[in-house]
Amino acid sequence: MNHLLLLSRGGLIALISGTLFFLAMEGRAGPADIPSEAAPAAVAARDLPDRFAGAEVLVETTRALGDHESERRRVVRYGRDEKPVRLIEHLRHDPETGDDKLLYQGAAVADRILVSVDSAAALHELQTFLNGHDAYALVDGKPGARIRQLSVLGGASVESETALHAVEEAVEAIEAAGLDGIMAGVNRLYFPATEPNDPSYSLQWGLEKIDAPSAWDIATGSRGVYVAVIDSGIARNHPDLADNIAVEYGRNFVPDADEDAFDDQHGHGTRVSGIIGAVGNNGIGIAGVNWEVSLIPLRVGDGSFTTDRLADALDHVTDLRQQGVPVVATNNSYGIEEQRPPNQRQVDRILKSAIERSRDAGILFVAASGNAGEDMDNGTKTYPAAYSADLDNVIAVASTTGSDGLAGSSNYGQTLVHLGAPGQSIYSTTMSGSYGTASGTSFAAPFVAGALALMKAADPELDAADLKAFLLDTVDPIPSLDGKTITGGRLNLGAALQAVVPEAVAVPVLSLESSAPTLLRTPLYPVDLQVVADSEPAHDVAVSLGTYGDAVAGDDYAPLPPEVVLPAGETRVVFTLQGLTASETPPDEAMIGIEILASDDYETGDATVELVLVPHSFAHWQEFFAQHQPLEDHDGSDALAAGGDGIPDLLRYALGLVPGLPVPDRREALPALENVVDDGAVYPALSFNRPQGLGDIRYRLQVSESLAADSWQNAEWEVLDVTEREDGTERVTVRDAIPAGDRERRFLRLNVLHEDDGS
């Protein structure tokens, strides 16, 4: 591990270690932050890129520290608003190459500091202090704002050497005055995470990894749940985001722009937002963790975010929550690295106090752990994630890979980082209206913020403590995070939702289906009934059955069992209902209803079936068959019904009801009506059984659009198939020559003729 200690006016400035997640932007603080005595220490440190290369330098000084090292202070103009930024940098000169390597770089706004004012009395006390210090003055701001800015240069120019030290000296003066209810601090710069990489790799592997599909079986989100994205803004016209943006609550905290100008000018915030809540199931692009959610866009900068904007954004969210807007969490994919000896404070107290206020309002604060590859328990800490040590609303998130490894650049910490989430090559929305991938803990954090919102949508009664507990108790333990995070695991969205709403996956919805609409009064032709579940149950389910109607169990049909068992992992179970012949002459028709009875083990859908019990005599069958057996055409209209007359014994044989005659397979004995397709046209067809060798019998088929006795007409039919069967019968299929649809309704009659008398 590489470290660097740097001495400056008044004491130790900073210690940095490892690769920067977000460039460490931290200026010299007052006496409470920096001891007056500290011994220098010099160890090897990595050469850093200069974030401010090419910026206009307004003033610069350098002083030697010894051993080829030096401290450089600069004031530069930075960003779109060209604000003056004071830099403190530590350089090492290489005598062999003549190059200066940048070992440390810290930044703060050069001409202003921040003061937090907790009451009107405190503001009065501050103004009294300022009356005796002509160099300092309150900058006009939003009336009643808690965070105020104080100009500190007096009449001095930002191009003067005064600007190199003014902010630290002002913080010292206010802290030394001991003003009640006043907190002072430099206005630090925070930076978003790593930039995008290959836009075509892996797509949305992260959602599969956290088992999002199982979670979506339970909930897909709600626009009644709000997540604030404190970042570079959101592209409000992105087709996969627009419907999920809470425009009415969005704000811009960047000066010199309209308050509602929250449109993303950098891209980072739009990528983060797509992970939380790209609109799902809309046929375009991607899906977020939440298909529906209300994203509150809070623009706090482009390439960097300052303390005052971050604190103001957090206070805006806190105010919304106190006004009744159900904000669940803020997503905070930004940070700075700081490393100092243990006896020194390393807290941005202005920002931390804003996080505390959001905690008191019941809002969770999801923070990226940082991309320095550091053990934050023992080395460089990234803030605000490291505030998890003493703020219980802070949830710090590490980055994991597609193979469940800890990303090499991700910070970790057994006591500071809570869990991991996918963060490598994450496919999401871009500010151009398209899609691409990016990597870093910046894109792991929104998976967690999205998970909190989805849990809240599934159970609106959950509070912040409940949500955090469900989140952390349901992680997938993975070896790469064992001993490196508090939970030792990676986010499992499916398990979290199942814990929130366990009955949603444990209880199937059952329906009841029948293989036929009628039941013959004979045990030869039972009807198959089946219980159908909409999902596979995790355990055997006992399905309770009941009956109703005027048919009598034991006389008209065989009694059903009181329950059937749907086995675990299966979606259907079949049982049979058999008709019986009563000793007394039966009525023409009766009805039996079968139903699935209610139970805590399942829910019911279409859970009843009603069957007409048909008398088994030929006369009753003929009448019933003509009236109750429609066959649906492909267009769903009733197109065909059938009846029969002629020689009773032949049709009785076809029904398997003639004593002494062989009984065909009961499933194939009944005449069957069907549609057949030929050259794209649909034709009605009839299949029936007959004894083999009936050479003296022929058939006449008639059709009618009604059942009137004088409306029957001879039809042109053709035999499609004759199949011999092992039981001594043959199956005949005949087809109408006229396609279905040419008549509104069609009835079929089969006449059997003897050659000798033509009857």
> Which listed residue (33, 111, 231, 348) is catalytic?
231
Average pLDDT over residues 467-475: 96
Query: What pairs with residue 326 in β-bridges?
Result: none
Amino acid 550 reads: D
DSSP code for 711? -
Distance CA 141, CA 174 (A): 20
Higher per-residue confidence, 20 vs 60 = 60
Query: What pairs with residue 229 in β-bridges?
Result: 297, 331
Question: Beta-strand (E) ranges in 50-98?
Answer: 57-66, 69-78, 83-93
Amino acid 12 reads: L
Whose tokens are 């998890």? That residue is 388
The 3 state secondary structure assigned to 356-375 is: HHHHHCCCEEEEECCCCCCE
> Which listed residue (268, 316, 418, 616) is catalytic?
268
Contacts of 502 by beta carbon, 8 Å cutoff, 6+ apart: none
The 3 state secondary structure assigned to 209-260 is: HCCHHHHHCCCCEEEEEEEEEEECCCCCCCCCCHHHECHHHCEECCCCCCCC
Average pLDDT over residues 542-565: 91
The closest of 55, 54, 3, 10 to 24, measured between CA atoms, is: 3
What phi and psi values does residue 601 have, to the nearest 5 degrees?
Answer: -85, -10
Higher per-residue confidence, 341 vs 59 = 59
Distance CA 734, CA 752 (A): 14
Residue percentage of the chain with pLDDT more than 90: 43
Q: What is the largest CA-CA distance in the chain?
A: 133
SS3 91: strand
Highest mean pLDDT: which range of 173-182, 194-203, 575-584: 173-182
Any catalytic annotation for residue 442?
yes
Q: Say what the pLDDT of residue 691 is.
A: 60
The CA R_g of the chain, rounded to the nearest whole Å, is 40
The closest of 335, 334, 338, 336 to 4, measured between CA atoms, is: 338
Helix H or strand E segment including 548 = strand 541-548
Angle at 623 between CA 619 and CA 627, to 5 degrees: 165
Average pLDDT over residues 16-31: 27
| Residue 544, CA atoms < 13 Å, CB-side half-sphere | 9
Q: State yes or no: pLDDT of 26 exceeds 60.
A: no
**Which long-range contacts (C-beta less than 8 Å, at least 24 apart) are formed by 38-41?**
38/5, 38/7, 38/11, 38/12, 38/341, 40/5, 40/6, 40/7, 40/65, 41/3, 41/5
SS3 128: helix
- Preceding amide of 384 cis, omega within 30: yes
Q: Which range (466-470, 527-531, 573-577, 654-658) has the least confidence?
A: 654-658
Condensed to tens digits (0 to 9), the pLDDT of residues 500-524 reads 987 544 578 999 999 878 787 767 6
Q: Say what the pLDDT of residue 600 is.
A: 81
Angle between helices 349-360 and 307-322 (to 10 degrees): 10
| Residue 205, CA atoms < 13 Å, CB-side half-sphere | 16
Residue by residue, DSSP assigns 129-194 as HHHT-TT-EEPP-STT-SEEEEE--TT--TTSGGGGTHHHHHHHHHHHHT-TTEEEEEEEEEEE-P
Q: What is the pTM of this model?
A: 0.61
Q: Which range (44-53, 291-300, 354-363, 567-576) has the least confidence?
A: 44-53
SS3 94: coil
Any catalytic annotation for residue 544?
no
Higher per-residue confidence, 212 vs 525 = 212
Mean pLDDT value across the chain: 78
Distance CA 573, CA 543 (A): 10
Average pLDDT over residues 373-389: 90
Do the Cβ atoms of 573 and 587 come closer than 8 Å? no
pLDDT confidence band for 47 (50 / 70 / 90): low
Do the Cβ atoms of 191 and 305 come closer than 8 Å? yes
> Which listed residue (222, 353, 399, 442) is catalytic?
442
Highest mean pLDDT: which range of 39-48, 266-275, 693-702: 266-275
Distance CA 636, CA 107 (A): 74
Do the Cβ atoms of 741 and 681 come closer than 8 Å? no
Distance CA 280, CA 270 (A): 16
pLDDT confidence band for 340 (50 / 70 / 90): very low
pLDDT confidence band for 588 (50 / 70 / 90): low
Query: What pairs with residue 121 in β-bridges?
Result: none
Average pLDDT over residues 364-373: 93
Any catalytic annotation for residue 231?
yes
